[in-house]
Structure 1
Amino acid sequence: MKKIKPIIITGFPYAFPYYFKVFEYLKNKDNFVFVLPKLWLAKAGKIRIKLEQKPDFTIYGLKSMSYGGHLIRGLFKGWLPGIFFLLPYLKIKYDAKVLYSCSEPNLLTTLCNGIIAKLCGLEHILFTWQNVVSEDRMTGLKLKLSNMLVRLNFWFADGVICGNKKAAKIIEELRSKKHELRILVSPIAGINTEKFRPLSRADIISDWRQKLGIKSDEKLILFYGALDKRKGLNVLIDAIKLLVTNYQLPVTKLIIVGTGSEEESLKLQVKSLKLQDKIIFLDWMPNDQLPALLNVSDIFVYPSVPSGGWEEQFGYAMAEASACGIPVVATKTGSIDEVVQDGKSGLLVEPNNPEQLAVAIYKILKDDDFAKQMGESGREYILNNFSHKVIASKIEEFLLRFTNK
C-alpha cells in the first residue's frame, strides 16, 4: 500500500537545525517530505552545515547551486537543480499535493520551484520576510525587473507565508485580485522555549562572570548578532558613553557577541571613547551557548536601524531574550514591535537616537522589580505567540488546507 505524504517542504533556511526544530512539534510528521541542501554554507563559508537524517522524518538531500552572492548567484540562492527530477518522483511515490518553498518571491529559485510544482500538478506555497515596499529599496530597471519577478512568482503560487504583518500587507497590495492567494502570517520557525528559558542563575552566573571578568555587582547589557551597520551598534556604544558620564552607572558592562564587517570600526569607536573597560567583544557563538549567556544578563539591547531600504524583519535574538525572561530595549523600526511589546516586555525607542537608548536602558537597570515584570511578560508573550509548538501548529494547519483542493 502506498504511503501518502501530501506535503513537500524545501528551502535552505531549514538546513539550519535551529529552524528545522519547529517540525519536531508537528502533529503528524508522516504528512511531510523534506528536500534540503546536502551542504549549506553561511557567513562567507565560516559555517558549514551538512544534512543529517533525522528519526521520524523523510528527508532527501540535493546539491545546492548557489549559497547567495551578487547578480545571478544571488537570484538563485538555495536553488537545488535536482528538484526538477526528484519532484515528479515524490509526487508519484507519496501522492503529494503541495510544495512549500521557503524562498522569497524576488528569487529565480522560487520561480523554478513554482514552475516545476505546476508541471507536477502541485499547489505551490512560498515565503517572504520582505516588510519594505520595492519602491523604497530600488529604482529604475532593477525595480521593474524585481516587481515583474515577484508578480510572476505570485502567479505560480497558491499561498504565501509572510514572516510579519507588514509583509502580508505588501503582498495584499501586489497580488492580482483575479488570482486567489491564501496568506498566513508566521515566521519560518518559532523559538525553542524549552532551551531558551529562565535558568537557575546560581548554576551559571559565577562561571560566566568569571570567564568574562565581570564582578558580581556589575549590571550586564548584552547584544548578539551580525556586526554590521544595520544593527546600529555604533549608536549603542554612544549610549553606553552617555550612561557612564551622564547617568553615573559605573558598574555596567556591555557584551557584544558576533562577527561582521563593522567589527574593527566598532572597536576603534570604543577605544576613542575610552570605553575599553566597559565593553567586551566576543566571537560568534553557537546557538546552544546563548541561553546561559542570556541568563547572566540583566538586559538585552537590539538597536537596529533602517539601512538601504532594509528594516528589521523579525528579530529572533530579541524573542530568545524574552523567552529567557530578560527585558529588551530595541528600536521602533521594521517589524520589531511584533516581537517586543513596548512597555510590557521591553522598551522601544527611535532608531539612531543614543539619548533615548540610554534613558531606556537606565530605566530598566535602576529598577529590578520593573525589569523582572518585563521579563516575565516577555516570556509569556513568546510562549503564547512564537514558541515552536505554536508556529508548527499554524504552518501545519495552513499547508493541510491546500491538500483538500
Structure 2
Amino acid sequence: MTGVIGFFNSAEAWGGGEKWHYEVSRYLHENGIDVVVFAHRKSVLLEKLKKTNVPHIGISLSNMSILNPYAYAKVYQLLRKFNVASIIINLSRDLKIAGKAAKMAGVKRIIYRRGSAIPIENSLLNRYYFKDILTDVLANSEATKRTVLQNNPFLFPKEKITVIYNGINVDQLPKTSVEENGFRLLTLGRLEYQKNHEFLIRLAAELKQRHLNFQMIIGGEGRLRGALEKLSNELGVQDVVRFAGFIETPLEFINTADIFLLPSYWEGFGYVLAEASLCQKPIIAFNLSSNPELVIEGETGFLVPENDIDQFADRVMELYQDKEKRTAFGKNGFHHIVQNFDEQKQLRKLQDYLVNE
C-alpha cells in the first residue's frame, strides 16, 4: 500500500510497548518501508530512535490533552504532513487523541495494538472508539484477543482482531552460569501488584516448613519493594529470599535458576517465560492469561490454579526431586519457543500484516 506507516506512542517511560514500537519500526525501515515514529519528546523511546536512521518526531501529550483542541489539530497536521496511511497506537489515552485525529486526517488503517490481557470496559467512550474510529486491533496473544470482547462481544468485529506474538531473538544464548550453593528458585519482573510477588514470599514460607534447602531470588525493582521486604521479615524467610534489584542482563540472570517461577495475575504476552524457556529452565506459573500459550503443561513446565500455594509448592518439590524432569522440561521449552516465537518469523508476519493487507 502507498503512504507511510506511523507509530504513535506518548509514554515517557520504557516498557514492552515502547520496545515493540522501537524494534518493529526499525525492522520495517531497514527493509525499505516508509515509517515515522511519533514519540514523547522526553521519552526513552525517542532517545533510542535518535541513535538510528528511523524517521521520528517528538510530541508532547498528557492525560489532559484530550480536553485541548490544539492537541488534536497538531496531531492531525503531523499525520497529513507525513502522508500517514496506517497508524499503530499503543496506549488507550493515545487512542482518544491520535485515533480521532487519524480519522479526521483520512488515515486508511487505524490500528490499536493491545498488549495487556485485561478486559476492555464496556463504556460509552470505548464503544465509540472501537465502532467509529478503529479499523483493526492487533493483539499480542490469544488471551489478549479474548479480553477485547470479554465484556461486550459486539464491541468490535472479531475477524478484525489479529494475533501476532511478540518475538524473541532465539539466537541469543546466555553465558554459562556459575554453580551456586542451594537450589535456586527465580523470578523476574517489576515489583508491582500485577506481578504478585507476595505469593512467592508466602510460598517461600511454605517451602521452608517443608525443609527444602533453597534460595528464592527475586529480580526487578518497583514501588512494592519495601512492603515485600517487610513481609519477608514478618514470615521469617529473609534468610532464603533475596531481592536482586534491577537486572541489566535478563538471560544471564535467568540462567542461574534451577526453576523459573511466575506468579503474575495476568500477562498480555509473558516475554519472561519465553526467555526462561530459551535458557532451558522448567517453569511453574498460574494457569491463566497467556501463560498456556507459552508453557505446555506437563511438557515444559507446570500450570497451577491462581494463588494455590499448596499445589505450587508440590510442583516445586516434584521438580526438586527429579533432575531428569527438570532437564526434559527445559529442552522441550527451548524447542517450543524456537518453533513458535522466533522474532524474525513474527516480524515477517507483522510486515505482511502492515504492508500487504
* TM-score normalised to structure 1 length: 0.75
Unaligned runs of 5+ in 1: 42-46, 136-142, 207-215, 306-310
Cα distance in 2, alignment partners of residues 19 and 116 from structure 1: 20
Residues 201 and 232, structure 2, Cα contact 8 Å, conserved in 1: yes
**For 2:247 and 2:332, how far apart are their aligned partners in 1?**
27
CA contact (8 A) 1:125 1:157 kept: yes
The one of 5, 17, 20 aligned to 2:22: 20
- TM-score, normalised by the number of residues in structure 2: 0.84
Aligned counterpart in structure 1 of residue 80 of structure 2, from 85, 88, 91: 88
Q: Residue type of the partner of 1:122?
A: V
2:183 to 215, 219, 226: 219
Counterpart in 2 of 1:133? 119
Deviation of residue 348 (structure 1)?
Answer: 0.9
Q: Which residue of 2 aligns with 1:101?
A: 89
In structure 2, C-alpha distance between the alignment counterparts of 1:304 and 1:64, rounded to whole Å = 32
For residue 246 of structure 2, give the secondary structure of its aligned residue in structure 1: coil
Give the equivalent residue in structure 2 for 1:157.
134
The residue matched to 1:321 in structure 2 has which SS? helix
Match of 1:391 in 2: 346
Residue 343 of structure 1 is matched in structure 2 by: 298
Q: Secondary structure at the match of 1:192?
A: coil
Partners of 2:341 and 2:34 in 1: how far apart? Answer: 22
Q: Which residue of 2 aligns with 1:322?
A: 277
What are the Cα deviations for residues 211-264 of structure 1, in whole angstroms up to 9, with x where unaligned?
xxxxx3422111111212332222212222222221x322x1111112223222
Partner SS state of residue 342, structure 1: coil
Shift of 1:352: 1.4
Q: 1:60 aligns with which of 56, 64, 70?
A: 56
Separation of aligned partners in 2, 1:158 and 1:323: 35
Partner of 2:162: 184
Cα-to-partner distance string for 1:84-128 (whole Å, 9 max, x where unaligned): 22211111xxxx532222334xx3x21322233233332211112
Q: Which residue of the partner structure matches residue 375 of structure 1?
A: 330
The CA distance in 2 between the partners of 1:227 and 1:334, in whole Å, is 19
**Which amino acid is the alignment partner of residue 89 of structure 1?**
K
With over 3 angstroms needed to count, the CA separation of the structure-2 counterparts of 1:255 and 1:128, relative to structure 1, is same
1:242 corresponds to: 206
Contact 2:7 2:25 in 1 (8 A): no
Q: What SS is found at the alignment partner of 2:82?
A: helix
Q: Is the 8 A contact 1:16 1:49 kept in 2?
A: no
Alignment of 1:356-375 (within 5 A): 356-375=311-330
What secondary structure, in the 3-state scheme, does the structure 2 residue paired with 1:280 have?
Answer: strand
2:330, 2:21 → 1: CA distance? 24
Distance between the aligned counterparts of 1:275 and 1:144, measured in 2?
44
1:210 counterpart residue number: none
2:242 match: secondary structure:
strand
Q: What is the count of residue pairs matched by the alignment? A: 346
Change (3 A) 1:53 1:29: farther
* SS of equivalent to 1:285: coil
Q: Which AA in structure 2 matches 1:117?
A: A
How far residue 171 of structure 1 moved from its aligned partner, in angstroms, is 4.0
1:24 deviates by 5.1
Q: Once the 2 structures are TM-superposed, how far is the Cα of residue 49 of structure 1 from its aligned partner?
A: 6.6
Do residues 144 (structure 1) and 123 (structure 2) align?
yes
The residue that corresponds to 2:176 in the other structure is 200
131 and 324 in structure 1: CA distance in 2 versus 1, 3 angstrom threshold? same
1:37 is displaced (CA, Å) by 1.8
Supply the RMSD in Å over aligned alpha carbons: 3.1
Q: Does 265-274 or 111-120 show the bigger shift? A: 111-120
Matching residue's letter, 1:85: Q
The 3-state SS of whatever aligns with 2:264 is coil
Match of 2:103 among 110, 118, 122: 118
Could you list the per-position Cα deviations for residues 287-333 of structure 1 after superposition, in whole angstroms to 9, with x for gaps in the alignment? xx11111111111111123xxxxx33222222211122111111122
**Structure 1 residue 38, shift from structure 2 partner:** 4.8
Check if 1:273 corresponds to 2:261. Answer: no
Cα deviation 1:271-297 (Å, max 9, x = unaligned) = 1222222111122223xx111111111
Cα contact 1:162–1:186 (8 A) shared by 2 = yes
Question: 2:40–2:61: 8 Å Cα contact kept in structure 1?
Answer: no
Cα distance between partner residues in 1 of 2:282 and 2:78: 47
Q: How far 1:335 moved relative to its partner?
A: 2.1
Please give the alpha-carbon distance, in whole angstroms, between the structure 2 residues aligned to 1:21 and 1:239: 37
Could you say if the C-alpha distance between residues 122 and 323 of structure 1 is closer, same or farther in structure 2, counting changes exceeding 3 Å? same
Superposed CA offset, 1:171-208 (max 9, x none): 4523356xx96221124x3223333x35433xxx16xx
For residues 313-360 of structure 1, the C-alpha deviation after alignment (integer angstroms, 9 at most, x for no partner) is 222222211122111111122222122222122111111121111111
The answer to whether the 8 A contact 2:72-2:97 is kept is no
Superposed CA offset, 1:127-184 (max 9, x none)? 123534346xxxxxxx534xx334424422221101221332344523356xx96221
Q: Is the 8 A contact 1:9 1:32 kept in 2?
A: no
Aligned partner letter, 2:32: D
Q: Residue 283 and residue 153 in structure 1: after superposition, are their counterparts in 2 closer, same or farther (change >3 A)?
A: same
Q: Is the 8 A contact 1:332 1:350 kept in 2?
A: yes
Question: How much identity, in percent, do the aligned residues show?
Answer: 23
